[in-house]
Protein backbone atom coordinates (compact mmCIF):
# COMPACT_ATOMS: atom_id res chain seq x y z
CA UNK A 1 0.00 0.00 0.00
CA UNK A 2 1.30 3.36 -0.94
CA UNK A 3 0.57 5.59 1.98
CA UNK A 4 2.81 8.37 0.76
CA UNK A 5 0.61 9.24 -2.23
CA UNK A 6 -2.53 9.22 -0.18
CA UNK A 7 -0.94 11.66 2.22
CA UNK A 8 -0.29 14.11 -0.53
CA UNK A 9 -3.97 14.04 -1.52
CA UNK A 10 -5.16 15.46 1.75
CA UNK A 11 -6.14 19.01 1.10
CA UNK A 12 -8.87 21.36 2.21
CA UNK A 13 -9.51 22.75 5.65
CA UNK A 14 -8.15 21.25 8.80
CA UNK A 15 -10.38 18.44 10.00
CA UNK A 16 -11.17 18.61 13.66
CA UNK A 17 -11.78 14.98 14.54
CA UNK A 18 -14.69 14.69 16.89
CA UNK A 19 -14.93 18.43 17.45
CA UNK A 20 -18.05 20.50 17.87
CA UNK A 21 -21.01 19.73 15.61
CA UNK A 22 -21.67 23.31 14.52
CA UNK A 23 -19.48 23.06 11.46
CA UNK A 24 -20.31 19.48 10.52
CA UNK A 25 -22.74 18.83 7.62
CA UNK A 26 -24.04 15.61 9.12
CA UNK A 27 -23.91 14.55 12.74
CA UNK A 28 -24.79 11.00 13.71
CA UNK A 29 -25.69 10.85 17.39
CA UNK A 30 -25.89 7.62 19.36
CA UNK A 31 -27.44 5.88 16.36
CA UNK A 32 -28.55 2.27 16.71
CA UNK A 33 -30.08 0.39 13.78
CA UNK A 34 -32.00 -2.87 13.88
CA UNK A 35 -33.27 -5.24 11.26
CA UNK A 36 -35.90 -7.20 13.13
CA UNK A 37 -34.41 -7.99 16.52
CA UNK A 38 -30.83 -7.83 15.36
CA UNK A 39 -28.81 -4.66 15.96
CA UNK A 40 -26.65 -4.04 12.90
CA UNK A 41 -25.26 -0.69 14.05
CA UNK A 42 -24.50 0.09 17.69
CA UNK A 43 -24.12 3.52 19.29
CA UNK A 44 -22.62 5.29 16.33
CA UNK A 45 -21.28 8.82 16.84
CA UNK A 46 -19.91 10.35 13.70
CA UNK A 47 -19.53 13.82 12.17
CA UNK A 48 -19.27 14.34 8.44
CA UNK A 49 -17.87 17.64 7.16
CA UNK A 50 -18.62 19.65 4.06
CA UNK A 51 -16.18 19.69 1.14
CA UNK A 52 -14.55 16.49 2.28
CA UNK A 53 -14.54 12.89 1.24
CA UNK A 54 -15.18 10.44 4.05
CA UNK A 55 -14.34 6.82 3.32
CA UNK A 56 -16.12 4.13 5.31
CA UNK A 57 -14.20 0.88 5.38
CA UNK A 58 -14.67 -2.42 7.13
CA UNK A 59 -15.30 -6.08 6.39
CA UNK A 60 -18.59 -7.35 4.93
CA UNK A 61 -21.43 -7.20 7.43
CA UNK A 62 -19.85 -4.46 9.50
CA UNK A 63 -22.79 -2.09 8.99
CA UNK A 64 -21.17 0.29 6.47
CA UNK A 65 -23.99 0.12 3.96
CA UNK A 66 -26.67 0.29 6.65
CA UNK A 67 -25.17 3.55 7.92
CA UNK A 68 -24.99 4.96 4.41
CA UNK A 69 -28.62 4.02 3.71
CA UNK A 70 -29.65 5.55 7.02
CA UNK A 71 -28.27 8.92 5.95
CA UNK A 72 -31.06 9.44 3.39
CA UNK A 73 -33.59 7.10 4.96
CA UNK A 74 -33.44 4.47 2.23
CA UNK A 75 -33.61 1.89 5.00
CA UNK A 76 -37.19 3.00 5.57
CA UNK A 77 -38.10 0.87 2.53
CA UNK A 78 -37.39 -2.21 4.63
CA UNK A 79 -40.31 -3.05 6.90
CA UNK A 80 -37.99 -4.64 9.48
CA UNK A 81 -35.83 -1.54 9.94
CA UNK A 82 -35.91 0.24 13.32
CA UNK A 83 -33.57 2.80 14.78
CA UNK A 84 -32.85 4.89 17.85
CA UNK A 85 -30.67 7.98 18.13
CA UNK A 86 -30.52 10.94 15.76
CA UNK A 87 -28.99 11.92 12.48
CA UNK A 88 -28.72 15.70 12.00
CA UNK A 89 -28.37 17.29 8.58
CA UNK A 90 -27.47 20.94 8.99
CA UNK A 91 -28.75 20.64 12.53
CA UNK A 92 -32.19 19.18 11.71
CA UNK A 93 -33.07 15.59 12.58
CA UNK A 94 -33.78 13.75 9.34
CA UNK A 95 -35.85 11.17 11.18
CA UNK A 96 -38.18 13.85 12.51
CA UNK A 97 -41.79 13.12 11.58
CA UNK A 98 -42.06 16.47 9.77
CA UNK A 99 -39.20 15.64 7.38
CA UNK A 100 -40.13 15.54 3.69
CA UNK A 101 -38.34 12.31 2.82
CA UNK A 102 -38.40 12.92 -0.93
CA UNK A 103 -36.78 16.33 -0.44
CA UNK A 104 -34.22 14.83 1.93
CA UNK A 105 -33.22 12.28 -0.71
CA UNK A 106 -32.76 15.08 -3.23
CA UNK A 107 -30.34 16.77 -0.81
CA UNK A 108 -28.56 13.51 -0.01
CA UNK A 109 -28.07 11.53 -3.23
CA UNK A 110 -26.96 7.92 -3.58
CA UNK A 111 -24.95 5.91 -6.10
CA UNK A 112 -25.41 2.17 -5.63
CA UNK A 113 -22.94 -0.68 -5.87
CA UNK A 114 -24.52 -2.12 -9.00
CA UNK A 115 -25.01 0.39 -11.82
CA UNK A 116 -28.78 0.66 -12.24
CA UNK A 117 -29.75 2.70 -15.26
CA UNK A 118 -33.50 2.83 -15.68
CA UNK A 119 -34.45 1.24 -19.03
CA UNK A 120 -34.88 4.62 -20.71
CA UNK A 121 -32.84 7.01 -22.83
CA UNK A 122 -29.68 8.48 -21.33
CA UNK A 123 -31.26 11.93 -21.26
CA UNK A 124 -34.40 10.71 -19.50
CA UNK A 125 -32.34 8.91 -16.87
CA UNK A 126 -30.49 12.08 -15.93
CA UNK A 127 -33.53 14.34 -16.21
CA UNK A 128 -35.67 12.03 -14.08
CA UNK A 129 -34.58 13.47 -10.73
CA UNK A 130 -35.07 17.12 -11.70
CA UNK A 131 -38.40 16.24 -13.28
CA UNK A 132 -39.51 14.60 -10.05
CA UNK A 133 -38.57 17.80 -8.28
CA UNK A 134 -40.88 19.68 -10.61
CA UNK A 135 -38.46 21.08 -13.19
CA UNK A 136 -40.43 21.33 -16.44
CA UNK A 137 -38.48 23.91 -18.39
CA UNK A 138 -36.69 22.14 -21.23
CA UNK A 139 -33.70 24.49 -21.26
CA UNK A 140 -33.16 24.13 -17.54
CA UNK A 141 -33.36 20.33 -17.88
CA UNK A 142 -30.83 20.43 -20.73
CA UNK A 143 -28.49 22.43 -18.51
CA UNK A 144 -28.81 20.06 -15.59
CA UNK A 145 -28.29 17.01 -17.80
CA UNK A 146 -25.19 18.52 -19.35
CA UNK A 147 -23.66 19.69 -16.09
CA UNK A 148 -24.39 16.36 -14.42
CA UNK A 149 -22.79 14.42 -17.26
CA UNK A 150 -19.79 16.79 -17.33
CA UNK A 151 -19.21 16.43 -13.60
CA UNK A 152 -19.33 12.65 -13.95
CA UNK A 153 -16.80 12.85 -16.82
CA UNK A 154 -19.30 11.23 -19.17
CA UNK A 155 -20.40 14.17 -21.32
CA UNK A 156 -17.85 13.73 -24.09
CA UNK A 157 -18.67 10.07 -24.50
CA UNK A 158 -22.45 10.41 -24.75
CA UNK A 159 -23.23 13.98 -25.83
CA UNK A 160 -24.14 12.84 -29.36
CA UNK A 161 -26.39 10.00 -28.29
CA UNK A 162 -28.46 11.25 -25.39
CA UNK A 163 -31.53 9.64 -26.94
CA UNK A 164 -30.04 6.15 -26.88
CA UNK A 165 -30.96 3.55 -24.28
CA UNK A 166 -28.85 3.92 -21.16
CA UNK A 167 -28.70 0.14 -20.84
CA UNK A 168 -26.52 0.01 -23.97
CA UNK A 169 -23.65 1.80 -22.19
CA UNK A 170 -20.72 -0.16 -20.80
CA UNK A 171 -20.63 -1.01 -17.09
CA UNK A 172 -18.26 1.83 -16.25
CA UNK A 173 -20.28 4.31 -18.28
CA UNK A 174 -23.47 3.13 -16.61
CA UNK A 175 -22.01 3.81 -13.20
CA UNK A 176 -20.93 7.29 -14.23
CA UNK A 177 -24.42 7.77 -15.64
CA UNK A 178 -25.77 6.91 -12.18
CA UNK A 179 -23.38 9.45 -10.69
CA UNK A 180 -24.47 12.06 -13.24
CA UNK A 181 -28.10 11.28 -12.45
CA UNK A 182 -27.55 12.10 -8.81
CA UNK A 183 -25.46 15.18 -9.59
CA UNK A 184 -28.23 16.57 -11.81
CA UNK A 185 -30.22 16.99 -8.60
CA UNK A 186 -27.48 19.32 -7.33
CA UNK A 187 -27.41 17.56 -3.97
CA UNK A 188 -25.52 18.67 -0.89
CA UNK A 189 -24.27 15.26 0.15
CA UNK A 190 -23.20 12.45 -2.14
CA UNK A 191 -23.37 8.87 -0.87
CA UNK A 192 -21.54 6.16 -2.78
CA UNK A 193 -21.99 2.52 -1.87
CA UNK A 194 -18.98 0.59 -3.21
CA UNK A 195 -19.46 2.35 -6.55
CA UNK A 196 -16.48 0.65 -8.16
CA UNK A 197 -16.96 -2.90 -6.91
CA UNK A 198 -17.95 -4.22 -10.32
CA UNK A 199 -15.71 -2.02 -12.45
CA UNK A 200 -12.37 -2.39 -14.16
CA UNK A 201 -9.37 -0.25 -13.03
CA UNK A 202 -9.79 2.34 -15.79
CA UNK A 203 -13.45 2.95 -15.01
CA UNK A 204 -12.58 3.03 -11.33
CA UNK A 205 -9.94 5.68 -11.96
CA UNK A 206 -12.46 7.81 -13.85
CA UNK A 207 -14.92 7.67 -10.98
CA UNK A 208 -12.21 8.49 -8.46
CA UNK A 209 -11.11 11.45 -10.58
CA UNK A 210 -14.68 12.66 -10.65
CA UNK A 211 -14.92 12.37 -6.87
CA UNK A 212 -11.71 14.35 -6.39
CA UNK A 213 -13.24 17.16 -8.47
CA UNK A 214 -16.57 16.95 -6.73
CA UNK A 215 -15.36 17.31 -3.19
CA UNK A 216 -14.85 21.01 -3.71
CA UNK A 217 -18.62 21.33 -4.01
CA UNK A 218 -20.05 18.38 -2.10
CA UNK A 219 -19.76 16.41 1.04
CA UNK A 220 -18.89 12.91 -0.17
CA UNK A 221 -19.35 9.67 1.76
CA UNK A 222 -17.76 6.66 0.11
CA UNK A 223 -18.34 3.13 1.34
CA UNK A 224 -15.70 0.81 -0.01
CA UNK A 225 -14.34 -2.68 0.43
CA UNK A 226 -11.11 -1.60 -1.16
CA UNK A 227 -8.73 -0.12 1.40
CA UNK A 228 -6.42 1.13 -1.32
CA UNK A 229 -9.28 3.10 -2.80
CA UNK A 230 -10.04 4.56 0.62
CA UNK A 231 -6.41 5.61 1.00
CA UNK A 232 -6.37 7.12 -2.49
CA UNK A 233 -9.73 8.79 -2.66
CA UNK A 234 -10.65 10.14 0.78
CA UNK A 235 -9.72 12.85 3.26
CA UNK A 236 -11.01 11.09 6.34
CA UNK A 237 -11.60 7.41 6.98
CA UNK A 238 -13.94 5.63 9.35
CA UNK A 239 -13.39 1.98 10.19
CA UNK A 240 -16.43 -0.15 11.05
CA UNK A 241 -16.37 -3.61 12.58
CA UNK A 242 -19.39 -5.72 13.52
CA UNK A 243 -21.72 -2.76 13.76
CA UNK A 244 -19.38 -0.55 15.72
CA UNK A 245 -17.37 2.46 14.67
CA UNK A 246 -13.85 1.47 15.74
CA UNK A 247 -12.16 4.69 14.79
CA UNK A 248 -12.39 7.71 12.54
CA UNK A 249 -9.72 10.19 11.62
CA UNK A 250 -7.64 11.74 8.87
CA UNK A 251 -7.03 9.12 6.22
CA UNK A 252 -3.28 9.57 6.51
CA UNK A 253 -3.45 9.05 10.23
CA UNK A 254 -5.76 6.04 10.09
CA UNK A 255 -3.59 4.36 7.51
CA UNK A 256 -0.17 5.17 8.98
CA UNK A 257 -0.81 5.25 12.69
CA UNK A 258 -4.20 3.75 13.58
CA UNK A 259 -5.36 4.31 17.13
CA UNK A 260 -6.90 0.87 17.39
CA UNK A 261 -5.06 -2.39 16.76
CA UNK A 262 -8.04 -3.85 14.90
CA UNK A 263 -7.89 -1.07 12.31
CA UNK A 264 -4.24 -1.87 11.65
CA UNK A 265 -5.07 -5.56 11.33
CA UNK A 266 -7.79 -4.85 8.80
CA UNK A 267 -5.73 -2.46 6.73
CA UNK A 268 -2.76 -4.77 6.57
CA UNK A 269 -5.08 -7.59 5.53
CA UNK A 270 -5.11 -9.71 8.68
CA UNK A 271 -8.84 -10.17 8.42
CA UNK A 272 -11.84 -9.16 6.41
Partner 1 sequence: MRLSPAITQRLVVAFLWLLTAITIAILAFIIGHVLAHGLPYVTWDFLSRSPEKMGREGGVFPIIVGTLAVTGLAVLIAAPVGVVTAVYLTEYTRKGRLTAVIRFGADCLAGIPSIIFGLFGFAFFVIALGLGLSVLSGALTLALMALPTIIRTSEEAIRAVPWSFREVSYGLGSTRWQMVTHVVLRSALPGITTGIVLSLGRCISETAAVMLTAGSALRMPSLLGSCRTLALHFYTLSREGISMNMAYATAAVLIVAILAIDLTAYWIMRRFITKMS
Q: 82: helix, coil or strand? A: strand
> At its nearest, how many Å lie between partner 1 and the CB of residue 259?
34
Binding residues (CB under 8 A) for partner 1: these are 72, 74, 77, 79, 102-106, 109-110, 112, 114, 116, 118-119, 128-129, 132-133, 178, 181-182, 185
> At its nearest, how many Å lie between partner 1 and the CB of residue 19?
31
What is the 8-class DSSP label of residue 121?
B
> At its nearest, how many Å lie between partner 1 and the CB of residue 25?
18
Rg of the chain over Cα atoms, rounded to whole angstroms, equals 18
Pick between residue 178 and residue 241 the one whose CB is nearest to partner 1: 178
Query: Whats the size of the chain, residue-wise?
Result: 272
> At its nearest, how many Å lie between partner 1 and the CB of residue 114?
7
> At its nearest, how many Å lie between partner 1 and the CB of residue 85?
22
Whether 191 and 72 have beta carbons less than 8 Å apart is answered as yes
Instruction: Tell me the helices (H) and strands (E) count for the chain, helix number first.
Output: 11, 10
Give the residue from 210, 150, 212, 159 showing the smallest Cα distance to 184. Answer: 150
Pick between residue 112 and residue 266 the one whose CB is nearest to partner 1: 112
- DSSP letters for 186-207: --SEEEEESTTTTS-HHHHHHH
Pick between residue 3 and residue 114 the one whose CB is nearest to partner 1: 114
Pick between residue 39 and residue 113 the one whose CB is nearest to partner 1: 113
Pick between residue 133 and residue 242 the one whose CB is nearest to partner 1: 133
Whether 38 and 83 have beta carbons less than 8 Å apart is answered as no
Amino acid sequence: MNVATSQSEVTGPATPVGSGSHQAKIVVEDFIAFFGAQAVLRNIHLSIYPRQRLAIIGPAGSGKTTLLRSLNRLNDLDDDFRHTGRILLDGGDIYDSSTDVAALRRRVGTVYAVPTPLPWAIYDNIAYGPRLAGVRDRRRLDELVESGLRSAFLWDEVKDRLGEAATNLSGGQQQRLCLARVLALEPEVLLLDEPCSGLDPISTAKIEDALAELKSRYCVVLVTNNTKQAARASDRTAFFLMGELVEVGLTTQVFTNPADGRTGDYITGHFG
